[in-house]
Amino acid sequence: MRAPSGLHPDYVSLAEYQAARWTDVLGVARFNGSPTLGDTAGPTGVPVAQVSTPLLTAATDVYEVWRGGEPAESGQHDRVRFRRSGDTLFGCIAVTEEESQPQADCAARSGRSGAHSALHTATTHAYQQICATLQAQSYPYLLRVWNYVPDINRDTQGTERYWQFNSARRHALSASGRSVAGNVPAASALGAASDSPLVVYFLAGRTAPAFLENPRQVSAYRYPRQYGPHSPVFSRATLLRQPGGLTLFISGTASIIGHRSVHVGDTAAQTRETLSNIAALLEEANRVSRGAQFCLGALACKVYVRRPEDLPVIQTELKSALGEGARVIYLQADICRQDLLVEIEATGMYPLAAVA
C-alpha cells in the first residue's frame, strides 16, 4: 500500500529505516533498548526523543518515525531540538529532575509561597521552552504532545506525581498565553523509568486543527477535583487538514465513561471500552470533516500496557476489533490512573481526494 502523502507516523525497525532513506523525516521516538540511529540512517539533524518505556514485542528495535511529505530542515531553540517543514514542526526536550532540584530546594528554603517539587520545576521548564520555540519559529498551534513522566503514579511531597505534572503544565501554558481548555492539543501522559528524565515530544503547525471531544466522556480539562487540583490540559483528539489529506490525532484513551474509570480489574473489558471510546472519536471526526471515513482498522496505534502479563488478552481484543493487518506497537508503561490497565493512542490518515 502506498504511504500517505501528508503528516503521518511509520513504525519501523532500524534496518527498515536505514533502507528507506526517507528525506521527509521530521522526528523519531526511540524506545527503551532500541539502538541509536546513526546519521547515515537518514537526514542529518533529525531530533530523536528517547522514551524510557520498553517494547512488549519480539522486535527490540521499533522506532516511531514522523514524516511530513516534504523536505525539512533542523534547528535548535535553547534545549528544544526541532525539525520543520513548511507547515509542521516536530520537537523534543528532556529535562532531568536532578538539574531542577536545586531550583526547587532554593524556593523551599526561601519560604516562597508556591514552592514546588523538582518534577513540577522540570515540567514548567520543559513547557516554557516548548512555548518559546513555537513562538520563535512561528508555529503557533500545538497539534499533538507526548509526555513521559518518571514514576507517574508515585506520591511525593504529599501528592501524586501525575497531579504535580498537570499543575505545572497548566501553569506554564497559561503563563505563556496559551489556552488551558477548549483549543488544546491532543496528548498522552505515561509513566517512564524511575531514573529517566521527563521527556516531551510534540507536533505543531501553522494551521489550526479542529479540536474534538468524545460525547461519551467529560472533557479532561473539565474533570472534577477528585482527579487533582488542576485538570489535565488536552483534547480527546485533533483533526488537521493539509493539502494532501486529513490527519487525526487521538489522545491517550482508556476505559473511562464520563469521568470515571470503568471495568476496574478486568483487562479485556477495559480494552473493549477503550476501543469503544476511540470508535466514538472516529465518528466525531467523520462528522466534523464532512466526508472522511476514518475507521478502526486503518489506524496506527500505540498501546500502553501496565502489566506485561496482560499483553495476550489485549492483543486478542485488538486483533478482533482492528484486524490482523493493523499497525500496532505495544509498550509497557504505567498509566495516569492506577486503576487503568491499558491505554491506546492512535493516528489516522485520510486523503482529501476521497472527501466529497
Nearest partner of 344 among 312, 307, 305, 317, judged by Cα: 305
C-alpha cell at 266: 478486568
The neighbour count for residue 176, using CB atoms within 10 Å, is 14
C-alpha cell at 57: 514485542
Are the C-beta atoms of 6 and 247 separated by less than 8 Å? yes
Residue that has been written with the C-alpha cell 499483553 in this structure: 311
Q: What does the buried/exposed string (b/e) look like for 12-26 if buried means 16 or more CB atoms within 10 Å of the residue's CB?
A: bebeebeebebebbb
Q: Which residues are catalytic?
A: 343
Distance between CA 164 and CA 1 in Å, rounded? 44
Distance between CA 8 and CA 348 in Å, rounded? 8
Distance between CA 160 and CA 28 in Å, rounded? 30
E-state strands within the chain: 8-13, 25-32, 48-54, 62-67, 73-77, 80-84, 88-95, 141-150, 155-156, 159-160, 186-192, 198-205, 210-212, 237-242, 245-253, 256-257, 260-261, 300-305, 327-332, 342-351
The neighbour count for residue 214, using CB atoms within 10 Å, is 24
SS3 79: coil
